[in-house]
Amino acid sequence: MEQINLNAESAALKLEQVKKEIANAFIGQKQLVDYALITLIAGGHLLVEGVPGLGKTLLVRALAKTIGGDSRRVQFTPDLMPSDITGNIMLDPATGKFVTRKGPVFTNLFIADEINRAPAKTQAALFEAMQEFQVSLDGESHPLPSPFMVLATQNPFEHEGTYPLPDAQKDRFLMKIIAPYPAAEEEKTMVTKVLTGDTGAELSIAGVNTALDTGMFIAIRNLTASLRVDPLIVDYAVRITAATRETQAVETGAGPRGSLALIRCARARALLSGRDFVLPDDVKALASAVLAHRLTLSAESELEGLSAKRIIENILAKIEAPRGISDNNAES
């Protein structure tokens, strides 16, 4: 395999091209695009909460196309079985032999639409895929394509007939974000684009071009994992995570996986900015998206209407960020 030489600046330029291609189909919502890219670069999974019709599926399809990968979508329902996701072993009548039928999770970007509408055992079918990047069928392990990411969605308003995600499942998501409605100008652009010479109801990814191949993207991901992180930054991330376990507003705080996730995401954010070192602002900007869904609020906090996001914001306001972190003193 040909070795790919990259630095932070050249990688950032390639990722900027990825974002430009996505913008040809997915209008606006730049933060959602950035978070999806950060998650994929960091080798994690993204939980998106938002009402239907915000283009989440379109974003994933466009992102997959820009990196030369593919995507598959599964609508989660109460009668969905684990084998509908992972696949199974079945008898081939023609040959009389058992064959492996791989499920839709064998893709680069897997969309679990309304994941909380499936029962716990079906949600758990993704555990191994999300943690080990493989699926076991009949005792045999099958690796998933690389890169691989799960983007799961859930509706924040319709709770009838849903199954709340268990804490262990939520903890496997690197970040959780709220997908907002598009701005008025973005929505007008979207409507105009759909109605111009097209009778369809959805935007198309026909105008999206492949900006790089999966090999290049994996090289970018490997570069991200090598970015320098000053020990003071690590200490800052750990102090923020540890503070979630010490506040009375929280029944259960974020575990060590939260600290790891903060650094992984901070590295990816730094690379998007063309830096080969992490700043405290990278950690601070992503703390809410990385940690809020890992918290279990106390009954008193819920009665008072206090949100996990607000708790993280209060923690960030109290914990002093390290100073003097720059290109010159960032250490490996």
Taking CA atoms, 199 is separated from 56, 105, 189, 193, 276, in Å, by 21, 32, 16, 11, 46
Mean pLDDT lowest among 155-159, 165-169, 267-271: 155-159
* Domains along the chain with CATH numbers: 8-220 (3.40.50.300), 227-318 (1.10.8.80)
Cα→Cα distances 94→91, 97, 100, Å: 9, 8, 14
> Which pLDDT band holds residue 328 (cuts at 50, 70, 90)?
very low
Of the pLDDT bands very low, low, confident and very high (cuts 50, 70, 90), residue 82 is very high
Residues 171-183 have pLDDT tens digits of 899 999 988 788 8
Tokens of 31: 């933060």
CB burial class (10 A; 0-12, 13-18, 19+) of residue 229? buried
Predicted local distance difference test score (pLDDT) of residue 331 = 44
Work out the pLDDT band at 195, boundaries 50, 70, 90.
Answer: confident
Q: What is the rounded distance in angstroms from the CA atom of residue 110 to the CA atom of residue 90?
A: 23
Mean pLDDT of 189-204: 68
Q: How confident is the model at residue 146 (pLDDT cuts 50, 70, 90)?
A: very high
Share above pLDDT 90 across residues of the chain, in percent, rounded to a whole number: 56
Position 29, amino acid: Q
* 0.75 surpassed by pTM: yes
216: which 2 tokens? 């290049």
More confident residue, 81 or 325: 81
pLDDT at residue 200 in the model = 55
Mean pLDDT of the residues in the chain = 88
292: number of Cβ within 10 Å? 21
Tell me, what's the pLDDT at 150? 95
pLDDT over 60 at 330, yes or no? no
Would you tell me the crossing angle of helices 280-291 and 231-243 to the nearest 10 degrees? Answer: 30
